[in-house]
A = this chain, B = another copy of it.
Amino acid sequence: MSGNKSFILRDRIIRNSNLSPMSRKILLTLEEPSLINNQADVDKVKRTLERELDAPVNICLAKMNIISSKCRSGHWKVTVTVGKKNTGWDVIDVEDGHVETPLYGLAVDVGTTTAVVYLVDLTTGDIVEAEADYNLQSTLGEDILTRIYIAGAERGLHRLQDAVLQTLNGLQRELCKRNGIDAQKIAAAALAGNTTMIHLLLGLNPANICMAPYTPVVNDPGLLTAQEVGLNINTAAPVYCLPGIGSYVGGDAVAGVLVSGMHKKDGIGLLVDIGTNGEMIMGNQDWLVACAGAAGPALEGGVAEAGMRAEPGAVEQVTIDSGGSVSYKVIGGKQARGICGSGLVDCLAQMFLAGIIDRAGKFKKGDYYTVVQAAESATDKDIVVTQRDINNLMRTKGAVSAALELLLESVGCTLEDLSSFYAAGAFGQFLNLESAITIGMYPDLPRERMFRLGNSAGEGARLALVSEAKRMELEQIKSRVTYIELNANEVFMNKFVSSKFLPHTNLNYFPTVKANMARHGLITE
């Protein structure tokens, strides 16, 4: 695991033969009615589908005339598209004749900052194309707490819902256009997001998410329809929201567990997803525990003095050599406009190893560090990291590290017991592993046990879309996880304080960092 290339666990992809997608086409050849057998058209289609699917099939009134007329125009050959319901199936489209064109679904990662829509061919399980865009909600409020606050204002929730729907429908339109697909042929969608994002997308009141006892309106909305949700695809298409565990461990984290496979392994796995919240799930085939803490938005664009999103112009990698001179890499190779989250983590690690800041994260001299000189920057100003930026980042890493210790203690394990570490989420995908370990945000494990999951939210959504078994696994993971509430947890607060050192008060937890510090002359071994 090195470099910033996303690594999706491709061996988990389900191939054609194992597909059981949320929507599917069924080609029917029906007996032509006669005086001997004049069963009603809809009854005949329903019974035939029920035999085929071995499950109840629902046909809404609006489809009945269509079925009758397509049966006749297709000379008793029809192609019926059925979509999964909470119980049984729904007829969502009827075509005359046997129409073997592909059927599509959308796998959606509803991120706080970025939404990614994958156009999936439901007949092969493959991704046709993906498209990402900023979640338009960002223009209303940058972080989750701000959005929950806005949702409480008049029409605030409605505006937030509209914004994200506009984002998703825009991405869908673009994908359909580029691939020449009629939106009506998109017959299913699976959405993964944190609990607040799912609430805002569905127009559900998020107020209780951030107030004790942190009770969401819903964690497991089940199968809804595109019409209910407001997605511009086949109105009757089933829409599945990946189930969340609680206010701060959402369907995106559950997707991470699914994609990692830790819930089916013997050895203990640890999944960490750092964003606005630090979400963490630990366990194996026998048990799963989770916790989350407001990691703080230190890593999100706009919070640090020179912070920005990971987009062209952002410093994403920083190196400070032994002579103290800094070099950096800018996304898109342009002049730098600011620093994104991964650049910030790199910078902190490098400043620490270069002896510019001490173990408490304080500048030894002055109160900022210049990463990019004004002369080189696109803004004609120095791009700097300030003491305040570092303090924010220290809180984030402290929260993550404290949560990990608490989880380990609560199940009576130590770091040595971890067989696998999975970095999930957008930051997990792009963060420099060594930097994250150096600042004590990730545990210092043998590197061969550490994996990036790539966009596990999107991949989890895709798996739910194409496999009933994977959807069942998601529900099982959701119900198996024991959630440990960190808010108002005293043990956590104590650990949080001791975690606010680089990499940790106890250096023995970080053997490779300790060795590196010695190499840099920061300590004597």
Residue contact A218 to B35, C-beta cutoff 8 Å: no
Scoring A residues 220 to 234 as 1 if CB is less than 8 Å from chain B, else 0, what string do you get?
A: 111010001100000
Q: Kindly state the separation between the CA atoms of A247 and B35 in the bound complex, as whole angstroms.
A: 11
Scoring A residues 188 to 218 as 1 if CB is less than 8 Å from chain B, else 0, what string do you get?
A: 0000000000000011110010001111111
Which chain B residues lie closer than 8 Å to A218 at the CB level?
A: 40-43, 64, 68
Scoring A residues 120 to 150 as 1 if CB is less than 8 Å from chain B, else 0, what string do you get?
A: 0000000000000000000000000000000
Q: Kindly state the separation between the CA atoms of A43 and B69 in the bound complex, as whole angstroms.
A: 41
Residue contact B204 to A39, C-beta cutoff 8 Å: no
Which chain B residues lie closer than 8 Å to A375 at the CB level?
A: none
Kindly report which residue of chain B lies nearest to residue A57, judged by CB atoms. Answer: B86
A64 with B204, Cβ < 8 A, contacts A218-B42, A220-B43 known: yes
Residue contact A228 to B61, C-beta cutoff 8 Å: yes
Q: Does A521 interact with chain B (Cβ within 8 Å)?
A: no
Which of A35, A61, A213, A488 has the most chain B CB atoms closer than 10 A to its own CB? A61
Scoring A residues 21 to 64 as 1 if CB is less than 8 Å from chain B, else 0, what string do you get?
A: 00000000000011100111111000000000000101111101
**Min CB distance, A46 to chain B, in Å?**
8
Q: Does A473 interact with chain B (Cβ within 8 Å)?
A: no
Which chain B residues lie closer than 8 Å to A204 at the CB level?
A: 64-65, 68
Which chain B residues lie closer than 8 Å to A60 at the CB level?
A: 224, 228
Q: Kindly state the separation between the CA atoms of A487 and B38 in the bound complex, as whole angstroms.
A: 13
Residue contact B59 to A213, C-beta cutoff 8 Å: no
A220 with B61, Cβ < 8 A, contacts A56-B87, A213-B33 known: no
**Min CB distance, A478 to chain B, in Å?**
10
Which chain B residues lie closer than 8 Å to A222 at the CB level?
A: 58-59
Residue contact A86 to B88, C-beta cutoff 8 Å: yes
A205 with B485, Cβ < 8 A, contacts A59-B222, A64-B218, A216-B41 known: no
Q: Kindly state the separation between the CA atoms of A205 and B42 in the bound complex, as whole angstroms.
A: 12
Kindly report which residue of chain B lies nearest to residue A223, judged by CB atoms. Answer: B58
Q: Kindly state the separation between the CA atoms of A62 and B213 in the bound complex, as whole angstroms.
A: 24
**Min CB distance, A421 to chain B, in Å?**
28
Kindly report which residue of chain B lies nearest to residue A34, judged by CB atoms. Answer: B213
For chain A, residues 301 to 322, give those with C-beta under 8 angstroms from any C-beta of chain B.
none
Q: Kindly state the separation between the CA atoms of A86 and B91 in the bound complex, as whole angstroms.
A: 13
Residue contact B43 to A58, C-beta cutoff 8 Å: no
Q: For the complex formed by this chain, how many copies does it contain in all? A: 2
**Min CB distance, A84 to chain B, in Å?**
12
**Min CB distance, A474 to chain B, in Å?**
15
Contact of A215 among B41, B56, B487, B488 (CB under 8 A): B41
Which chain B residues lie closer than 8 Å to A343 at the CB level?
A: none
Q: Does A219 interact with chain B (Cβ within 8 Å)?
A: yes
Q: Does A293 interact with chain B (Cβ within 8 Å)?
A: no
Q: Does A246 interact with chain B (Cβ within 8 Å)?
A: yes
Which chain B residues lie closer than 8 Å to A34 at the CB level?
A: 213
Residue contact A86 to B56, C-beta cutoff 8 Å: yes
Residue contact B217 to A42, C-beta cutoff 8 Å: yes
Q: Kindly state the separation between the CA atoms of A424 and B15 in the bound complex, as whole angstroms.
A: 59
Q: Kindly state the separation between the CA atoms of A39 and B195 in the bound complex, as whole angstroms.
A: 13
Which chain B residues lie closer than 8 Å to A208 at the CB level?
A: 41, 68
Kindly report which residue of chain B lies nearest to residue A214, judged by CB atoms. Answer: B38
For chain A, residues 465 to 509, give those with C-beta under 8 angstroms from any C-beta of chain B.
483, 485, 487-488
Q: Kindly state the separation between the CA atoms of A199 and B107 in the bound complex, as whole angstroms.
A: 39
Kindly report which residue of chain B lies nearest to residue A243, judged by CB atoms. Answer: B43
Q: Kindly state the separation between the CA atoms of A175 and B500 in the bound complex, as whole angstroms.
A: 71
CB pairs A–B below 8 angstroms (30 shown): A33-B213, A33-B215, A35-B214, A35-B488, A38-B213, A38-B214, A38-B247, A38-B483, A40-B215, A40-B217, A40-B218, A41-B208, A41-B217, A41-B218, A42-B218, A43-B219, A56-B86, A58-B85, A58-B86, A61-B202, A61-B228, A64-B202, A64-B218, A64-B221, A68-B204, A68-B208, A68-B217, A69-B205, A85-B87, A87-B87
List A residues at the B interface (Cβ < 8 Å). 33-35, 38-43, 56, 58-62, 64-65, 67-69, 85-88, 202-205, 208, 212-222, 224, 228-229, 246-247, 483, 485, 487-488
Besides A38-B215, A59-B222, 20 other A-B contacts (C-beta < 8 A): A33-B213, A33-B215, A35-B214, A35-B488, A38-B485, A39-B215, A40-B216, A40-B219, A40-B220, A41-B215, A43-B218, A56-B87, A58-B87, A58-B222, A61-B221, A62-B228, A64-B204, A68-B205, A68-B217, A86-B88
